[in-house]
Structure 1
Amino acid sequence: MDNAPSGDVIVVGSGVVGLTTAIVLAERGRRVRVWARESGELTTSAVAGALWWPYRIRPKALAGEWALQSLSVYEELAARPRETGVRLVEGVQGETRLDAPEPWAARVPGLRAATPEEYAGTGLWARLPLIDMPVHLGWLRERFLRAGGTIETRTVTDLAEVEAPVVVNCTGLGARSLVPDPAVRPVRGQLVVVENPGVHTWLVSTDSDAGTTTYVFPHPDRLVLGGTTDDDDWSLTPDPAAAEAIVERCVALRPEIAGARVLGHRVGLRPVRDTVRLEHEVLPDGRVLVHHYGHGGAGVTVAWGCAREAAGLALGEEPAAVRP
């Protein structure tokens, strides 16, 4: 039974988590508005590498469940890649053994040990969603609008001033000052975009001694090369030395990338928190405020599963799992 207060829902934030949550609510019959200070194309989500794989997100058990729910959605969306931006692409998650991943990994279809021909070290081969985020964010926006939702450019400085019976806070790193919640902090990621010389498989490789993670994500017209994990770094300016190091590491793994023309640089700030904040509170005037942020480097990976649970909280339903 739907026990939510009557009237509108306002979702604050237009990244992948905010838009997906807004879609779930709108398609369940709510009148939903998204308030955001910037369009989805200018959010952290827009610069994400966006390979489906839980990364820098806790609690792990819940994140795994949310990720698997989202995987099912992305597999369906991959039937229309030009429209949705979602493709299923083969590749290798390096430095990971079949007996080492979290329990959710056992439920990923086709996951197996990589062969020596596929990867020189120990790794897992998988066919996973790889998402073109500018295209996908545009598709999410259109799906939300078709469901009857509206998007407004608003700068929110106080959640208590958002006048709606139900407010869902999907502000990501912005929650640090808006709530305020000092537990959410930035982990800076830098990417280099180059022309694709013919690479068709993705690769993620971790060097624990050097403290680096290197990845190559192929799209039809470009390669996304990464990356960095700079804790508590707020800079959105590309670092030329970091960009050079990224390209060098990627070329060492995939020599055919050498000499590929650089198309651009991207920097995003992952909203990392010790645990995702997904909970609701009743304000003194009876309105419902749902907090839904802190997804780290896995916002795309868990978006649909997490959005369904957030929507349930907004509609007065019992949570699907006990929160730690």
Structure 2
Amino acid sequence: MVVVGGGVIGLTTAVVLAERGRRVRVWTREPAERTTSAVAGALWWPYRIEPESLVGEWSLESLAVYEELAALPDETGVRLVEGVHAGTRLDSLGPWAARVPSLRPAHAGEWAAGTALWARLPLIDMSAHLPWLRDRLIEAGVVVEVRAVTDLAAVDAPVVVNCTGLGARELVPDPAVRPVRGQLVVVENPGITTWLTAVDPVWESSTYVFPQPGGLVLGGTAEEDDWSQAPDPTVAERIVERCAALRPEIAGAGVQGHRVGLRPVRHAVRLEREELPGGRVLVHNYGHGGAGVTVAWGCARRAAGLAYPAA
């Protein structure tokens, strides 16, 4: 079988399939380090993803895996880090929130004022996690090949799993999947050890600060139907300004780099099985919006079950 796509969804799906004893090949248009997944700030949290009725279960399954992987942070890139979701209330979240053990209203000492939620959640360093996934595949005997696919139905395999993200727009084709552009700034960390997200109606998107091993990741934007992958200096300045308003020690921190990624947003994740001529099977697993990392393991298990239903 072939998994098409080498981002976090494709690699995780391939890991699940391979470790269930399937012979798997991964075909990816570009190396994992050049995918949208590599740009992600990667805090576990369901963001810009539907349908809510299913996302909660996928997210919780993935949370359990990341909590295990956090035992080896240097290898897996997964750490459990404390932080605050400012401007978020428990009653604004789905039923899944009640099953996140550490999630609770923040105390005054954890957030200065207003409504906020405190949690200890997985924060994933994608520069370590993606290579770890790839190494796990290699250990399982999976070949990861940089190879462009122009026709899913022409892939020579009895089972094909489509994990192409935004690429599905042209490849399927599926015009329902579209880009939501996210821009980040990486600065030197002045000593911040907790993450922070803040929802402010004045701004077009949330503001967040994620302490990663390689620097402090500042965000962000959510620009719908914007295909530009070039960093905008004006937007970068505004991101730093917003973050410094929340954490003043960020002001003056040296800029280390800029990142831009295009989230593959869809009205609902497409996770379904399609029968092809000749008895072949095509499974779709794409459209995870801003929560690919958050739901990766849950969706991978569903995709594996669709590819090889239990007898």
Q: Residue 163 of structure 1 corresponds to which residue in structure 2?
A: 156
Give the aligned partner of residue 130 of structure 2.
Answer: 137
**For residues 213-257 of structure 1, what are the alpha-carbon distances to aligned partners after superposition, in whole Å with 9 as ceiling and x for unaligned?**
100001234100000000000000000000000000000000011
User: Which of 77, 86, 90 matches 1:85?
Assistant: 77
Indicate how the Cα distance of structure 1 residues 36 and 220 shifts in structure 2: closer, same or farther if over 3 A, else same: closer
Partner of 2:140: 147
Shift of 1:160: 1.2
What is the distance in 2 between the residues matched to 1:111 and 1:104?
11
1:173–1:186 CA contact under 8 A, matched in 2: yes
Name the structure 2 match of 1:121: 114
Distance 1:242 1:285 in 2: 51
Q: Give the one of 279, 284, 300 matched to 2:277.
A: 284
User: Is 1:16–1:45's contact at 8 Å kept on the other side of the alignment?
Assistant: yes
Instruction: Quote the residue 2:64 is aligned against.
Output: 72
TM-score, normalising length: structure 1 = 0.94
Structure 1 equivalent of residue 32 of structure 2: 40
Count of aligned positions: 310
Kept in 1: contact 2:88–2:199 (CA 8 A): no
Is residue 265 from structure 1 mapped to residue 283 from structure 2 by the alignment?
Answer: no
CA distance in 2, matches of 1:179, 1:71: 30
Aligned to 1:250: 243
1:197-208 correspondence to structure 2 within 5 Å: 197-208=190-201
Matched, 1:223 2:197: no
Q: Which of 24, 28, 37 is the matching residue for 2:16?
A: 24
Amino acid at match of 1:105: A
Correspondence list, 1:290-309, <5 A:
290-309=283-302
* 8 Å CA contact retained: 1:83, 1:135: yes
In the alignment, which of 58, 61, 70 is matched to residue 50 of structure 2? 58
CA distance in 2, matches of 1:310, 1:264: 35
1:101 paired with 2:93, answer yes
Is residue 2:175 matched to residue 1:196?
A: no
In the TM superposition, what is the alpha-carbon distance from 1:286 to its structure 2 partner? Answer: 1.1
Once residues 104 and 165 of structure 1 are traced to their aligned partners in structure 2, the CA distance between those partners, rounded to angstroms, is: 36
Do the aligned partners of 1:196 and 1:220 also contact (CA within 8 Å) in 2? no
Q: Which amino acid aligns with 2:229?
A: L
Q: What are structure 2's unaligned runs of at least 5 residues?
A: none
Matched with 1:235 is 228
Cα deviation digits, residues 113-157 of structure 1 (max 9, x gap)? 112221122110000000000100000000011111111111101
- Secondary structure of the 1:207 match is coil
Tell whether the 8 Å contact from 1:21 to 1:308 is kept in structure 2 after alignment: yes
> Could you state the TM-score of these two structures normalised by the residue count of structure 2?
0.98
Partner Cα distance (1:257, 1:16) in 2:
30
**What is the CA–CA distance in structure 1 between the aligned matches of 2:85 and 2:127, rounded to whole Å?**
24
Structure 1 stretches lacking a partner, 5+ long:
1-8, 319-324
Q: Which runs of 4+ in 1 moved over 4 A?
A: none
- 1:10 and 2:2 equivalent? yes
Quote the Cα distance in structure 1 between the aligned partners of 2:65 and 2:181: 28
Instruction: Give, in whole Å, the separation in 1 of the partners of 2:132 and 2:207.
Output: 29
